[in-house]
Amino acid sequence: MNQQSNIPLGIVLMVLTTFIFAVQDGLSRHLAAEYNVLMVVMIRYWFFAAFVIALARRHAGGIRAAARTRQPILQATRGLLLAAEICVMVAAFTLLGLVESHAVFTCYPLLVAALSGPVLGEQVGWRRWAAIGVGFIGVLVILQPGFAVFDPAAAIPLLAAAMFAVYGLLTRFVARQDTTATSFFWTGTMGAVAMTATGLWFWEPMIAADWIYMGCLCVTGVTGHWLLIRCYEVAEASAVQPFAYLQLVFAAIIGISIFGETIQTNVAIGAGLIVAAGLFTFWRERLQRVAD
């Protein structure tokens, strides 16, 4: 099966992925409110590392082949950056809730588009810059800078979005020489090493019920990543990526129905601007690929 042979299946897989990741974020929000964020992320990474190691052992060459790279520093940096971004985002869940955190984080594809020029040398036309500008306005609408009620904590998911955007750009960069399997292996193992070195210092006893939630968190994390890999195997990324915005919808549903969060008017308007700008960016990218 070639990459573009089954776009409908790719869309279904992306929708399932976004739902599972939203559930994962809800579980993270609950656990991080009760226990140290670093410990929660550390345990999650233990399962993630076990998953990528198991995948590596199933392929030709095993772990040694998966770990082989000419860019060890960049690969290590990617893994460490993603682990740090997850910690920042989970902290945002506990401070701001799922709705507002995801509304701001949704701008990360626009940050990728903005940074792709200086980092990767890609051409960024005026239409893409216009979309980036609209998305930035959306972020400002959500954050409401200058208002007396402005909460500096609202900038935390924006920091997470910036970190994830840089991670995405580094992933594109290392893909010029390394395979997806290699990048995935380094992502899981480096994150596990880093989080173990920091998370063990913050270990807390966990009640039995929360260990069940932790187990669900680990399972959803592994399942979500597997579905995402499968999604990109069966369909072109630009065809399914717009459906990734459904994670904002699912996260909002979970935040409202389970955690009693509310959607403020400015958050709804700002998120709408960001999503519209992101969809326009993906649409333009798809047109350019067809033209090429």
Supply the pLDDT for residue 140. 75
- Backbone phi, psi, residue 98, to 5°: -70, -40
Domain membership of residue 43 (yes or no) is: no
Domain membership of residue 217 (yes or no) is: no
Is-contact 42 208, C-beta < 8 A? Answer: no
Supply the pLDDT for residue 148. 44
What is the torsion angle, in degrees rounded to the nearest 10, for the CA atoms of residue 248, residue 251, residue 249 and residue 273? -30
Distance CA(219)–CA(199), nearest Å, equals 20
51-80 tens-digit pLDDT: 999 988 888 788 998 899 999 999 999 999
272-287 tens-digit pLDDT: 888 888 788 777 766 7
165-186 tens-digit pLDDT: 898 888 888 888 888 889 889 9
Domain membership of residue 166 (yes or no) is: yes
Domain membership of residue 248 (yes or no) is: no
Domain that holds residue 172: 99-177+262-292
Q: What is the number of structural domains in the chain?
A: 1
Domain membership of residue 124 (yes or no) is: yes
Average pLDDT score over residue span 216-226 = 90
- Residues belonging to the chain: 292
- Backbone phi, psi, residue 149, to 5°: -90, 5
Q: What percent of the chain stands above pLDDT 90?
A: 40
Domain membership of residue 163 (yes or no) is: yes
Nearest to 174 by CA among 245, 243, 285, 82: 82
Encode the chain in three state secondary structure. Answer: CCCCCCHHHHHHHHHHHHHHHHHHHHHHHHHHHHCCHHHHHHHHHHHHHHHHHHHHHHCCCHHHHHHCCCCHHHHHHHHHHHHHHHHHHHHHHHHHCHHHHHHHHCCHHHHHHHHHHHHHCCCCCHHHHHHHHHHHHHHHHHHCCCCCCCCHHHHHHHHHHHHHHHHHHHHHHHCCCCCHHHHHHHHHHHHHHHHHHHHHHHCCCCCHHHHHHHHHHHHHHHHHHHHHHHHHHHCCHHHHHHHHHHHHHHHHHHHHHCCCCCCCHHHHHHHHHHHHHHHHHHHHHHHHHHHC
- pTM assigned to the model: 0.84
Least confident of 43-47, 100-104, 263-267: 263-267
More reliable by pLDDT, 262 or 136? 262
Which DSSP state fits 5?
Answer: S
Tokens of 141: 């609408």
Residue 286: CA count within 13 A, CB half-sphere: 15
Supply the pLDDT for residue 289. 65
Domain membership of residue 77 (yes or no) is: no
Tokens of 272: 């709408």
Distance CA(251)–CA(245), nearest Å, equals 10
pLDDT surpassing 60 at residue 41: yes
Tokens of 77: 């940096």
Domain membership of residue 19 (yes or no) is: no
